[in-house]
């Protein structure tokens, strides 16, 4: 969870990240906000990727600014 919130703050900024995770309803998360999905037990990595896709974050930043994707190629 700490990595999820750090990624949100890094990509979107602290304040805007809080707004996105509380207010942005994503069909990919079953019509829930990222915060609701996390509270329902959805994996933070899955929530992060759904948020990235919804906000058109470039694929090269899906695993963190300046970080390479995992060796297994998971996205």
d(CA 73, CA 14) in angstroms, rounded, equals: 28
> What percent of the chain has a predicted confidence (pLDDT) above 70?
84
pLDDT at res. 32: 98
Task: Kindly state the average pLDDT of the residues 23-47.
Answer: 97
- Identify which has the larger pLDDT, 60 or 46: 46
Q: Nearest 5°: phi and psi at 26? A: -115, 125
Statement: residue 13 has pLDDT above 80:
yes
Alpha-carbon distance values, 28 to 24, 66, 72 (Å): 11, 26, 23
Distance between first and last Cα of the chain: 18
């Amino acid at each position: 969870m700490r990595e999820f919130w750090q990624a949100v703050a890094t990509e979107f900024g602290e304040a805007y990240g809080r707004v996105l995770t509380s207010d942005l309803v994503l069909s990919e998360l079953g019509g829930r906000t990222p915060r609701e999905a996390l509270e329902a037990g959805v994996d933070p990595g899955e929530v992060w990727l759904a948020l990235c896709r919804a906000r058109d974050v470039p694929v090269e930043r899906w695993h963190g600014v300046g970080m390479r994707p995992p060796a297994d190629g998971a996205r």
